[in-house]
Structure 1
Amino acid sequence: MIKLSFYGPLCFRAVDQIMTTLRSACLTALACTCFLPRCYTKTHSPDTEKVFAQLRALYDCTKLALLEANHNDTGSRCSRTFDGWHCWPPIPAGTEARAPCPHLLPGKVNFSATAKYGCHLNGSWDGSAADYTSCTSSPTEDSELMLLQNIAQDLGDDVPWEQKMHSGEDGIVEEKIDRFKDCLESVLLKPLPLGVNDSVCPRTWDGWSCWNDTLPGHTAYASCPQFVAGFVPYRQAHKVCTSNGTWFVHPATGHVWSNYTACVDTHDLQYGNLVNSLYVAGYSISLVALTLSLIIFFSFRSLRCKRITIHKNLFTSFIVSNFCWILWYVQVVAGTHVIELNPIWCQILHVVTQHFMVCNYLWMFCEGLYLHTLLVVAFVDEDKAVKWFVLIGWGFPLLPTIAYTVARGLDSDASRMCWLEHDVWYTYILSVPVGFSILLSLAFLVNIVRVLVSKLRAVNSPDRNSARKAVRATLILLPLLGLHYMVMPFRPERDRICLTYEIFSALVTSLQGLCVSMLYCFFNEEVLTVLRKALSQTPCARKEWRRMSFANSTITANFTQTTQTYE
């Protein structure tokens, strides 16, 4: 089943992909020797390809005829028509149209000759087909044309090429066409078996699957199409043939209905919805906490320093990234129709989401680099350092994002389904920088702890408490920002352990922003001091202070008077 969400950030996919590269390469080498995206191309019989080409030409010709019918042309003429082998343009009544011999004709075709089709004075064509006697020696039988017309009439709006072609949907349409050609070859073009009469439910194609002639009161089965998002290919759909020899009609729609409900794994769907809901809830909570923290940082002048500036950028990257992920899970993952249509806005949302997630990890890297620089380097030009951090955190991610967008956008197989499929090599373009930044952060952490231990051994260390608090925050923060995926590099199979893993991953990943805001803002002693001071200066606080002062003075006066009376 195709996954409907990204379970975990890029760093997990980097480790997962790297560990499975050799296995995938070996399987690919055994499966095929070519380097094309699709190493195996299914071949069909010449008759199947011919009928498919005829049907496609019929569709194109009919579409042109409908467009021309909207023009209110005056005068008698023969309208555009497709006779089974060529699309004849409209001509005035009483004239004759000529065209080169079409390649769809049976037998050996003389392409240097011409075919002709006459238009009567009453505006009707001369016969059901044009005169192809000069084109081929094989006669164009009416039975072949009748078969073509019957197939076209039965298909109606279910022909695969009538699906609107969205950017990156070429692969899906190609799979539909392959499945339809299989239907032509194995069912639709086959002669009726002996003893089969009009009482059976007729063979048909519903747009997704092929259904053979079925006896009344029986049920036909077909494998679930793999090009539909959320369907399990090894399951089966079914179509009921009623006792009167007609296909079952759904009472709600009034149309012939094929039952594809079994194609969806309901347990897996509930499981996915639970995990996606956890992501949305966690990202929403983090978004609120990060926004409040950012407001606090910008509201107080005493918090305007280089260290807080880096925090502001980190929080901003979290806010934008979390907001994009919420949009992704609500607008894209929750609607399979969006994934199948693959509109341009969902592709843009995917690119923007991935870009700001890379920014998020690189700003975490900048936090570790800044702390490492303060502890290791004696004299630091913080103004210049912040400029470099801005370049690394906001500028550098543009390079892999642009490369990723261009490379994947040019591959039609990888740019379908809102780019939801992450088992493609293009994700290495983003995951490698992220994984490298996490490894550097880990190296910084090890060296920071080493330097801190050496400084704490000094008796008169001036920054002992502040350094200890900063490193303690970093020790807690780094695992929350990706290192747990290095501890658990493989996603378990679909079982109870996998559910526990995915829930853990969803909670940790989506609540990263909340943890960051608590560590760097709400639990920060410097921020708490500023907030206490600000609250003490509010009118309510001053009024409460005056009330408490009056109460204390009254109690003191009464106590003094009582003491004097007693004396």
Structure 2
Amino acid sequence: MTYSIFDQACVDSFHHVNLSSHERWCNATWDMVLCWPPTPAGESAHLSCPPVKGVDPSKTVYKRCDISGRWAGKTQGDFTIPQGWTNYTVCFTKAIQEIIRELYKDSAEDAQTKLNIALGTRIMEIIGLSLSLASLCISLAIFFYFRSLKNNRTRIHRNLFVAMVIQVMIRLVLYIDQAIIRGHIVGNSATNSNTTRQGIDNTPVLCEASYVLLEYARTAMFMWMFIEGLYLHNKITVTVFQHRFYYSAYHAVGWGVPVLMTAAWATATAMHYGNARCWWGYNFTSYFWILEGPRFSVISLNMVFLLNIIRVLVTKLRQSNSSEALQVRKAVKAAIVLLPLLGITNVLNMIVAPLGRSAAEFGLWSYATHFLTSFQGFFIALLYCFLNGEVRTAVRKYVDNYLLHRSAGVRRGSGLSSVFLTTVTDLPRDHHGRGRHLCSCLRGSQSPTHSRPYL
């Protein structure tokens, strides 16, 4: 139904074209991407590539009209598809063409398996990001609400959580938007006004701004992970910094430095892409290392911090005469707990996707990488908020106080009712009239003077 509407709109847009001088021609048609004009038999129609993500609109694509007056298919004599076949591969940017070559390196079946894996990981990502968003928001509410948790360590946690929330929210919006509009692109101006479903990816300025904000939030997340590692390292290993907390400097590094980095990257990328829409494939360009380089440095530094923290921990355990097994167990536990907080697991996401490898290897990389990145917020909130001893104590104390006040109110109400009931039932039989007055007094319908005989 949708195709017939779009196809009819395409045909109607060329109703003024007169091809009566030609014996045969191919009718105007919409091939799910572009609206092709009516073309004489034996000739080819040429159009500019559609201005969508991953496509270079300065390039030209063509469609061939067979001498029989039908749009030609992919192979000679193939007319099974009424709108014919169009080779849009020539429209793709160099980065996308390289991806396609790697994807179809083995076979079409293997490539389709990898595409199905990519779809499965996207669904997993949306689930993980949603869970992370909910966990981080609850954690922030807890950190801001309880005064007992407002210390230097949680101040750093709060900033890290805010950066992660911004990143997760933007990713969710982009992913959901892409899922809604996927497959609905029309690039010809004749039908564009009525048949195109825009979406963020096909909206100029909004798309670029979304990805700039996403990369800023991601860079800020890495900076606050570096601050987490630096603060923890100094707290454990460097005694001179034990009583100093450079919050202003931390704030400048965590939020200010990413502004400079993102501005430099965005400027270079905008100059590189020119008028191309949405900078699709920007992460494949060399300019992306303006952001990825410092991020990788943060991971490397945090890895050094982690190793030194474990070294100090093992040294202290040895001094306490703990068994070797206990020392190893505690060191491994500390390393596992600190891995997500310091962002070390993000190094997997910096590895180039192994599209040219087997489907099994690609699937292992894809699921492992996207699981760690999408569920990262959930694991950090779980380890540093929900399972944290101070947080659990504060929440438990709040719940206990709430239940205590609630039960005290119920006991006061039930105790007062029992006193009243006992007073009435214990009255002598010859005081029924007074009992009636007492009941009336309890209902508030009598004046205070009526209660005097019972004092």
- Pick the TM interval, shorter chain: 0.5 to 0.7
Give the structure 2 partner of residue 453 of structure 1. Answer: 314
- 1:327 pairs with 2:195: no
Q: CA deviation at 1:411?
A: 1.9
Unaligned runs of 5+ in 2: 1-12, 30-35, 40-44, 102-107, 186-198, 322-328, 415-455
**Partner deviation per Cα, 1:460-497 (whole Å, 9 max, x = no partner):** 9xxxxxxx999955642325765346579454325023
Amino acid at match of 1:172: D
- The verdict on how the C-alpha distance between 1:375 and 1:474 changes in structure 2, with shifts beyond 3 A counting, is same
Give the structure 1 partner of residue 69 of structure 2. Answer: 201
- 1:281 pairs with 2:162: no
Give the structure 2 partner of residue 370 of structure 1. Answer: 231
- The verdict on how the C-alpha distance between 1:203 and 1:508 changes in structure 2, with shifts beyond 3 A counting, is closer
- The verdict on how the C-alpha distance between 1:385 and 1:475 changes in structure 2, with shifts beyond 3 A counting, is farther
Segment drifting more, 222-231 vs 529-538: 222-231
8 A Cα contact 1:408 1:414, kept in partner: no
- Residue 56 of structure 2 aligns to a residue whose secondary structure is helix
> Equivalences for 1:100-249 in 2 at 5 Å?
156=37, 172-175=56-59, 177=60, 179-180=61-62, 200-202=68-70, 222=85, 224-226=87-89, 227=91
Q: Please, what TM-score do these two structures have when normalized by structure 2?
A: 0.63
**Partner deviation per Cα, 1:395-453 (whole Å, 9 max, x = no partner):** 11112211111111112279545534522112111110100000000111122222233
8 A Cα contact 1:480 1:509, kept in partner: no
8 A Cα contact 1:283 1:322, kept in partner: yes
Amino acid at match of 1:520: Y
- The verdict on how the C-alpha distance between 1:455 and 1:211 changes in structure 2, with shifts beyond 3 A counting, is closer
Give the structure 1 partner of residue 290 of structure 2. Answer: 429
Q: CA deviation at 1:218?
A: 10
Counterpart Cα distance in 2 of 1:322 and 1:356: 9
Give the structure 1 partner of residue 388 of structure 2. Answer: 524
8 A Cα contact 1:361 1:437, kept in partner: yes
Give the structure 2 partner of residue 303 of structure 1. Answer: 149
8 A Cα contact 2:130 2:172, kept in partner: yes
- 1:500 pairs with 2:384: no
Give the structure 2 partner of residue 536 of structure 1. Answer: 400
Amino acid at match of 1:343: P
8 A Cα contact 2:121 2:366, kept in partner: yes
Aligned match for 1:399, one of 244, 256, 260:
260
Counterpart Cα distance in 2 of 1:424 and 1:217: 40
Q: CA deviation at 1:512?
A: 0.8
Q: CA deviation at 1:500?
A: 2.7
Counterpart Cα distance in 2 of 1:430 and 1:365: 15
- The verdict on how the C-alpha distance between 1:390 and 1:381 changes in structure 2, with shifts beyond 3 A counting, is farther
8 A Cα contact 2:70 2:82, kept in partner: no
Amino acid at match of 1:316: V
8 A Cα contact 2:135 2:377, kept in partner: yes
Q: CA deviation at 1:300?
A: 1.0
Amino acid at match of 1:201: G
**Alpha carbon RMSD of aligned pairs, Å?**
4.7
Give the structure 1 partner of residue 159 of structure 2. Answer: 313
Give the structure 1 partner of residue 137 of structure 2. Answer: 291
- The verdict on how the C-alpha distance between 1:360 and 1:218 changes in structure 2, with shifts beyond 3 A counting, is closer
Aligned match for 1:341, one of 196, 202, 208:
202
Unaligned runs of 5+ in 1: 1-61, 67-145, 193-199, 235-261, 461-467, 551-567
Counterpart Cα distance in 1 of 2:320 and 2:48: 80
Amino acid at match of 1:449: I
Structure having the higher helix fraction is 2
- 1:410 pairs with 2:278: no
Q: CA deviation at 1:393?
A: 1.1
- The verdict on how the C-alpha distance between 1:364 and 1:291 changes in structure 2, with shifts beyond 3 A counting, is same
- 1:511 pairs with 2:379: no
Counterpart Cα distance in 2 of 1:218 and 1:334: 26
**Partner deviation per Cα, 1:340-372 (whole Å, 9 max, x = no partner):** 735321221111111111111111111110011
- Residue 246 of structure 2 aligns to a residue whose secondary structure is helix
Count of aligned pairs between the two proteins: 351
Counterpart Cα distance in 2 of 1:414 and 1:481: 38
Counterpart Cα distance in 2 of 1:485 and 1:349: 21
- Residue 504 of structure 1 aligns to a residue whose secondary structure is helix
Counterpart Cα distance in 2 of 1:390 and 1:482: 18
Counterpart Cα distance in 1 of 2:274 and 2:370: 28
Q: CA deviation at 1:376?
A: 2.7
8 A Cα contact 1:368 1:474, kept in partner: no
Counterpart Cα distance in 1 of 2:285 and 2:395: 49
- The verdict on how the C-alpha distance between 1:160 and 1:233 changes in structure 2, with shifts beyond 3 A counting, is farther
- The verdict on how the C-alpha distance between 1:266 and 1:523 changes in structure 2, with shifts beyond 3 A counting, is same
**Partner deviation per Cα, 1:22-44 (whole Å, 9 max, x = no partner):** xxxxxxxxxxxxxxxxxxxxxxx
8 A Cα contact 1:358 1:430, kept in partner: yes
Counterpart Cα distance in 1 of 2:158 and 2:78: 70
**Partner deviation per Cα, 1:528-548 (whole Å, 9 max, x = no partner):** 11111111101467528998x
Counterpart Cα distance in 2 of 1:323 and 1:218: 41
- Residue 173 of structure 1 aligns to a residue whose secondary structure is coil
Q: CA deviation at 1:387?
A: 1.5
- Residue 273 of structure 2 aligns to a residue whose secondary structure is coil
Counterpart Cα distance in 2 of 1:536 and 1:306: 27
Q: CA deviation at 1:508?
A: 1.3
Give the structure 1 partner of residue 432 of structure 2. Answer: none
Counterpart Cα distance in 1 of 2:46 and 2:211: 27
Counterpart Cα distance in 1 of 2:100 and 2:240: 63
8 A Cα contact 2:132 2:378, kept in partner: yes
8 A Cα contact 1:314 1:363, kept in partner: yes
8 A Cα contact 1:283 1:510, kept in partner: yes
> Equivalences for 1:474-485 in 2 at 5 Å?
475-478=336-339, 482-484=343-345
Q: CA deviation at 1:321?
A: 1.2
- The verdict on how the C-alpha distance between 1:220 and 1:319 changes in structure 2, with shifts beyond 3 A counting, is closer
**Partner deviation per Cα, 1:55-103 (whole Å, 9 max, x = no partner):** xxxxxxx9xxx9xxxxxxxxxxxxxxxxxxxxxxxxxxxxxxxxxxxxx
- The verdict on how the C-alpha distance between 1:203 and 1:503 changes in structure 2, with shifts beyond 3 A counting, is closer
Amino acid at match of 1:501: W
- Residue 538 of structure 1 aligns to a residue whose secondary structure is helix
Segment drifting more, 274-283 vs 220-229: 220-229
